[in-house]
Amino acid sequence: MSFKITMECSARQKDSNIILALDLVSDSRSTLLSKSLALLKKAQPYICAVKINHQLVLPLGLFSGVKKILKTAQSFELPTIMDCKINDIGNTNRVIAENYYNAGFDAVIANLFVGWEEGLQPVFEVAKHMEKGVILLCYMSHKAAGEGYGQTIQQYNKPTSQYVAFAKKAIEWNADGAVVGATYPEKIKEIHEILQDKVPIYSPGIGVQGGDLQSAVRAGARYLIVGRTIFNASDPAAAARQIREEAHLRE
């Protein structure tokens, strides 16, 4: 089953399109692991997947601490995404993807700026071989995103936006998803018109970064990636449930 379908099944089964960004911090590694596991257990009824980034992999280690979190996510039948934004030469990219997939991640996030040949081609090859997913960055959520993703480039002697060219590559390469920041709903709409139902949009940036859930969903975001708005709440499970319900109202 492709990662795209795995996510659709999970969203249906969990009745949620919320992906928990598990980005806790702690001075103690054992506290970080126990807090992350506790948060996952509390939020799991209201989410359809878990996203982890370097904030956990660096202090906990991939095959030690993070693998325990992946096993817990699997026990709740939650797909897992590694937000590693793969961005090197192909030979290294292949090893990065293999390690994350071998640890148990179901998908990785990669940066389209490195291109296909000797860039992301090896990542897609490994993903196909291991039946895993690749999600591509089309437009990031932070303030400076436009400096790269919003540039005007020349393609076939015609000016076009970098993110439009990236969205077309996401279809061409048969990506499992495209990340577009919830902080730029107009970009979600434009990219969704290109991707339609072929490549689902994953949207981070709701809440703390200033993105509005309703605008993102109305513009075409399929999955909402949420971290601090859930885990900094006094009751993270209630916050996750509320965000899930708000997203439902707009579907």
Q: Which one of the spans 10-18, 64-72, 122-130, 221-229 is the region binding ligand XMP (CB under 6 A)?
A: 221-229
User: Which residue minimizes CB distance to ligand XMP?
Assistant: 227
Token digits of residue 236: 């993270």
Q: Which of 23/212 has CB closer to ligand XMP?
A: 23
Q: Assign 94 to helix, strand or coil.
A: helix
Catalytic residue among 85, 168, 169, 189: 85
Question: Using CB under 6 A, which residues numbered 146 to 205 contact ligand XMP?
Answer: 179, 181, 204-205
Distance (Å, rounded) from C-alpha 25 to C-alpha 240? 19
Nearest residue to 175 (alpha-carbon basis) of 150, 153, 194, 151: 194
Q: Write the burial class of residue 69 (CB in 10 Å: 0-12 exposed, 13-18 middle, 19+ buried).
A: buried
133-142: string of b/e by CB count within 10 Å (b at 16+)?
bbbbbbbbbe
Query: By CB under 6 A, which span of 39-47, 100-108, 135-143, 162-170 interacts with ligand XMP?
Result: 135-143
Q: How far is the CB of 177 from ligand XMP (least distance, A)?
A: 10
Q: Is 112 a residue that touches ligand XMP (CB under 6 A)?
A: no
**C-beta of 67 vs 228, nearer to ligand XMP:** 228
Nearest CA-CA partner of 205 in 143, 147, 133, 155:
143
Is 143 considered catalytic here? no
Binding residue for ligand XMP, selected from 35, 168, 218, 228, defined by CB under 6 A: 228
Contacts (CB under 6 A) with ligand XMP, residues 24-53: 53
- Closest separation in Å from C-beta 29 to ligand XMP: 19
If one asks whether residue 242 binds ligand XMP (CB under 6 A), the answer comes out as no
Residue from 21, 66, 123, 170 touching ligand XMP (CB under 6 A): that is: 21
**Among residues 75, 12, 16, 1, which one has the least CA distance to residue 213?**
16
Tell me if 111 contacts ligand XMP by CB under 6 A. no
Q: In whole angstroms, how close is the CB of 126 to ligand XMP at the nearest point?
A: 19
d(CA 220, CA 105): 26
Sign of the CA dihedral with 168 first, then 172, 173, and 174 last: positive
Nearest-Å Rg of the Cα atoms of the chain is: 17
Which residues of the chain form contacts with ligand XMP (CB under 6 A)?
A: 21, 23, 53, 83, 85, 109, 137, 140-141, 179, 181, 204-205, 207-209, 225-229
Catalytic residues: 85
